[in-house]
Amino acid sequence: MTKQLRLNAFTMNTVGHLAPGLWTHPRDRSRDYKSIRHWAELARTLERGLFDAIFIADVIGVYDTYHGNLDGAVRNAIQLPINDPLQLIPAMALVTEHLGFGVTSSVTYEHPYPFARRMSTLDHLTGGRAAWNVVTSYLDSGARAIGLPHLAVHDDRYDVAEEYLDVCYKLWERSWDDDAVIADTTRGVFADPAKVHAVHHHGRHFHVDGIHLSEPSPQRTPVIFQAGASRRGRQFAGRHAEAVFVSAPTQAILKSQVDAVRASAAAQGRHPDDIVVFSMHTAIVGETDADAHRKYDDYRRHVRQDGALTLLSGWTGIDLGKYRPDEPLRHVTTNAGQSAVEVFSSSDPARSWTIRELAEWVSIGARGPVSVGSPSTVADDLQAWAEATGVDGFNLGAVVIPETFTDAAELLVPELQRRGAFKTAYAPGTFREKLFGRTSRLDARHPGTAA
Domain spans in the chain, listed from the N-terminal domain onward: 6-450
346: pLDDT confidence band, cut at 50, 70 and 90? very low
DSSP classification of residue 408:
I
CA–CA distance, 442 with 25 (Å, rounded to integer) = 43
Q: Is the pLDDT of residue 403 over 50?
A: yes
279 within 8 A of 385, measured Cβ to Cβ? yes
Mean pLDDT of the 312-334 span:
83
The average confidence (pLDDT) of the chain is 94
Q: Other C-beta atoms within 10 Å of 271: how many?
A: 11
Q: Which helix (H) or strand (E) holds 101?
A: strand 100-106
* The pLDDT value given to residue 331: 60
Question: How many whole angstroms separate alpha carbon 438 and alpha carbon 157?
Answer: 32
Q: Tell me the CA end-to-end span of the chain in Å, nearest whole number.
A: 39
CA distance 15 to 31: 5
Q: What is the rounded average pLDDT of the residues 351-357?
A: 82
pLDDT tens digits, residue range 33-44? 999 999 999 999
Q: What is the pLDDT of residue 267?
A: 95
- Which range (261-265, 290-294, 329-333) has the least confidence? 329-333
What kind and span of H or E run contains 342? helix 338-344
The percent of the chain in helix, strand and coil, each rounded to the nearest 5, is: 45, 15, 40
Per-residue pLDDT tens over the stretch 67-116: 999 999 999 999 999 999 999 999 999 999 999 999 999 999 999 999 99
Band (pLDDT 50/70/90 cuts) for residue 144 is very high
The per-residue pLDDT for 342 is: 56
In the chain, the percentage of residues whose pLDDT exceeds 90 is 88
CA distances, 323 to each of 67, 249, 329, 349 (Å): 10, 21, 8, 20
Centre a 10 Å sphere on the Cβ of residue 436 and count the other Cβ atoms it contains: 18
Tell whether the model's pLDDT for residue 134 goes beyond 70: yes
Task: Please state the rounded mean pLDDT for residues 126-144.
Answer: 96
Give the DSSP H/E element, type plus range, for residue 394: strand 393-397
> Distance between CA 425 and CA 430 in Å, rounded?
14
Strand partners, 54: 9, 101
The pLDDT score that the predictor gives to residue 325 is 87
**390: helix, strand or coil:** coil
- 351 pLDDT above the threshold of 90: no
Quick one: pLDDT at residue 333?
57
Q: State pLDDT tens for residues 190-235.
A: 999 999 999 999 999 999 999 999 999 999 999 999 987 788 999 9
Under the banding of pLDDT at 50, 70 and 90, the label for residue 451 is confident
Output the pLDDT for position 353: 81
Contact 68, 319 (CB under 8 A): yes
Beta strand extents in 239-353 (DSSP E only): 243-246, 276-285
Task: State how far the alpha carbon of 396 is from the alpha carbons of 30, 356, 422, in Å.
Answer: 16, 24, 15
Residue type, position 293, single letter: H
The total number of residues written for the chain in this structure: 451
**CATH architecture of the domain covering 6-450:** Alpha-Beta Barrel (3.20)
Return the pLDDT at 329. 79
Task: Give the pLDDT confidence score for residue 347 in this predicted structure.
Answer: 47
Residue 349 has pLDDT above 70, yes or no: no
